[in-house]
Amino acid sequence: MEVGGILAPGAVQSTLFKQWHLGERLLVEVVQKTSEREGTIRVKGLDVSALLDTSTKVGEKFWVKVGNLSEGSLLLIREPLMLKQGDIPIVPLQFKQLVERGLPNNQEIISLLKSFPIANTGILSTLLTSLQGTPLDGLLMKFRNLIPQWEGLSEETGAEKLVECLRKLGLNYEQRILQMMNLDYQSLETEKNSLKETFKFVLLDALRNQDGLDDSDGILVNLLQKLTGQQLWFKTGALENAYLLLHLPLLNHEQLMPVQIAIESSRKGGKMDEQHCRVGIQLETEQLGQVGIDAYFYEDSLTFRVLSNDLQFLPRLLEEVLPETRTQFSKLGFKLTNIETGELAQNIEFQNFLRGSRRSGVDIQS
């Protein structure tokens, strides 16, 4: 028989033929290498002589599928995923549940889902400040280096920078691990190295190797919980609608400025329908404090409300930027049909939308 041909002794061979089936997936461990291409592997507790790839190392584990059963030979096809123990840190039980069953109905997942939408967005800034001057300072620098600068988000590259930030945070961390199973060896190594550049990898690695680090205040755990909660809310929804919730970090003159974004739309296959959606944004500004934007896209039309707790200067400011705003949305194919203002603190429905609550019934305004 090999992993691409294992030559099995006759006594073992008959046992294998009876136990294994074409297409069956098996976990293989390399027990011994007697030469460059020969050695012993362990499969379901059985030690079997095998021909191995020259790059295979003792102690290495990988998945194979039974590709051929014929008299005198047994072919096991090695899957491309070759993650070594401790190479890419994940939580094995949670990862297995997410892959096989989706979101498991356990208290830990429920707690993460409940706490993330109502989390104080300032907690991230507080946690990062508390890391300064500690052995975790390197973790802080890693995080700050991947956050986009507000002033650097141009019309041409802004969207790409935001998407790249989410990727570097590790919001598709487990998804990328799963996709690695379909990569060839060279692509796999490239992806593994890229995955190690994500903030989630660095965070998990710090939690796994806490020698000399003091996390008695749970700083690392809180950061991981917030990031995981972010992942769980990334693409959810109810019934016919898709829903996305983000707490996106941005830097404004080197100061952390959290931005909350919620998007709900009809489903367009596996994607969100950008022509039929609601977009809610809330951020902290220097002049107006907290500002919210509640926008509705329908076909080629756009309406939105600008919400603030300081309405004294808001109408004049909107009047100044309105012509340029209409022009920019026109370039995107949308006609700005209506703009309103409102008080942020009084708009409870908007706040609920940013927390993931689903609207029920019809709003009636006098």
287 belongs to a structural domain: yes
Q: What average pLDDT does range 274-288 have in this prediction?
A: 87
Please indicate, yes or no, if residue 85 is contained in any of the structural domains: no
Whether 162 and 253 share a structural domain: no
Which of residues 217, 232, 247 is at a domain's end? Answer: 232
In the predicted model, is pLDDT for residue 37 greater than 80?
no
86 falls within a domain: no
Percent of the chain with pLDDT over 70: 72
Is residue 196's pLDDT more than 60?
Answer: yes
Q: Domain boundary at 30, 48, 78, which?
A: 78
pTM: 0.63
Quickly tell me which residue has 């030979």 as its tokens: 73
User: Does residue 33 carry a pLDDT above 80?
Assistant: yes
Residue 250, in any domain of the structure: yes
Q: Of the given ranges (28-42, 62-76, 180-194, 218-232), which has the lowest mean pLDDT?
A: 62-76
Contact at 8 Å (CB) between 319 and 309?
no
CATH assignment of the domain containing 255: 3.30.750
pLDDT band, residue 212 (cuts 50/70/90): low
In this structure, are 192 and 120 located in the same domain? Answer: yes
Is 284 among the domain residues?
Answer: yes
Average pLDDT over residues 14-22: 65
In a domain, 111, yes or no: yes
Return the pLDDT at 4. 43
More confident site: 258 or 15: 258
Whether residues 157 and 67 fall in one domain:
no
Q: Which domain holds residue 206?
A: 92-232
Question: What total number of domains does the chain contain?
Answer: 3
Say whether both 194 and 119 belong to one domain.
yes
| Confidence band for 327, pLDDT divided at 50, 70 and 90 | very high
Residue 1 pLDDT class (50, 70, 90 cuts): very low
| Token pair of 214 as six digits | 């003091």
Q: Indicate if 245 and 163 belong to the same structural domain.
A: no
Same domain, 281 and 340: yes
Whether residue 121 contacts residue 247, with contact meaning beta carbons closer than 8 Å, is answered with yes
* Greatest mean pLDDT range, 3-7, 116-120, 327-331, 354-358: 327-331
Residue 84 in domain: no
Residue 344's pLDDT band (cuts 50, 70, 90): very high
In this structure, are 257 and 192 located in the same domain? no
pLDDT for position 305: 93
In the 8-state DSSP scheme, what is residue 357?
P
Given a cut of 80, is residue 134 above it in pLDDT? no
Residue 43 pLDDT > 90, yes or no? Answer: no
- Of 253, 257, 298, which Cα lies nearest the Cα of 281? 257
Please state, in angstroms and rounded to a whole number, the distance separating the CA atoms of residues 118 and 112.
Answer: 11
What's the longest Cα–Cα distance across the chain?
Answer: 88
Q: Please tell me the predicted confidence (pLDDT) of residue 129.
A: 67
| CA dihedral sign, ordered 246, 252, 256, 257 | negative
Domain match, 191 and 255 both? no
Q: In this model, does residue 145 exceed pLDDT 70?
A: yes
pLDDT of residue 5: 41
Statement to judge: residues 20 and 127 lie in one domain: no
Instruction: Report whether pLDDT(317) > 60.
Output: yes
Contact between 270 and 305 under an 8 Å Cβ cutoff? The reply is no
| pLDDT band at residue 65 using 50, 70 and 90 as cut-offs | confident
**With bands split at pLDDT 50, 70 and 90, how would you rate the model's confidence at 103?**
low
pLDDT for 242: 83
Write out the H or E segment, with its range, that includes residue 223. helix 219-232
Where a domain ends, among 232, 261, 282? 232
CATH of residue 66 = 2.40.50
Domain for residue 291, yes or no?
yes
User: Do 108 and 48 fall within a single domain?
Assistant: no
Would you list the DSSP string of 122-134? HHHHHHHHHHTTS
- Same domain, yes or no: 97 and 156: yes
> Are 136 and 167 part of one and the same domain?
yes
Buried b (16+ CB within 10 A) or exposed e, 204-214: bebeeeeeeee
Predicted confidence at residue 366, as pLDDT, reads 32
Q: Are 25 and 100 in contact (CB under 8 A)?
A: no
